[in-house]
Amino acid sequence: MIDLSSQNFIHLLPYWGYPLMFVLMFFEGPFATMIAAFLASQGLFNVGIVFFLSVFGDVLGDIGLYHIGYFGGPHIIKKTQRFLKIKDSTIEKLEGKFHQNSGKLIFYAKSTTGLSYITFTLAGALRMKLLKFIKYSILGGLVWSSLLVFLGYFFGYAAERISQYVKYAGIAIFIAAIIAVIMISLIKKRESAEILKNGKE
């Protein structure tokens, strides 16, 4: 029988927590990173490992999108375009940006907008060099993961300090951290929606 006591759970968390964390970061990086960084501030995880897994898991997801585009070609781009309701003019502008400076486009899409899915799939379809793609995906991931880890750790640190004086403050701050991630994600999605709607560069 598995011992689910708090002491045993805390003891097992570093061993089972990291693999689970990595899987969650692969599929839903922002939320998993913020929660892991929050727990790292409580001493349950190593913040350096959290940051590394955040970047690594995120980049692996990007490589997956790249290969979907690489092997799917124009056909998968058309399907993705219809699914995301992206205008032909936007695809044409993205292709033009790839020819101008593909690395800058990958970095920008990764760190500032919500256009990652179509941009990374298009990178594969246009046969961008994989090593170059990975390089700029990592650079963008470092920026994005740094922000998430900082916010998660900060909220966790604040929760630990304030909860010494205010009851339930830790729970309130944890909820605030989750709301912060949701707000950041919504801002990125709204920005990408505006780009796709208006066909802006």
pLDDT, tens only, 57-77: 889 989 999 999 999 888 888
Give the pLDDT of residue 95.
Answer: 81
Burial 158-185 (b: 16+ CB within 10 A, else e): bbbeeeeeeeebbeebbeebeebbeebe
- Count how many residues are written for the chain: 201
Geometric angle at alpha carbon 164, from 171 and 154, rounded to 5°: 60
Query: Does some domain include residue 16?
Result: yes
Q: Model-level pTM greater than 0.75?
A: no
pLDDT computed for residue 5 by the predictor: 44
Task: Please check whether residue 177 lies inside any domain of the structure.
Answer: yes
Four-residue CA torsion sign, 191, 195, 200, 201: positive
Question: Is 1 contained in some domain?
Answer: no
Residue 109 lies in a domain: yes
- C-alpha 101/C-alpha 136 separation (Å) is 11
Position 20 confidence tier, pLDDT thresholds 50, 70, 90: confident
Amino acid letter, 151 = L
pLDDT at 131: 94
d(CA 81, CA 87): 7
* Strand runs labelled E in 53-172: none
Is residue 7's pLDDT more than 60? Answer: no
Tell me the pLDDT band of 189, cut-offs 50, 70 and 90: low
What residue numbers bound the domain in which 78 lies? Answer: 6-198
Cα(100)–Cα(40) distance, rounded to whole angstroms? 41
Total number of domains in the chain: 1
How many percent of the chain have pLDDT more than 90?
A: 17
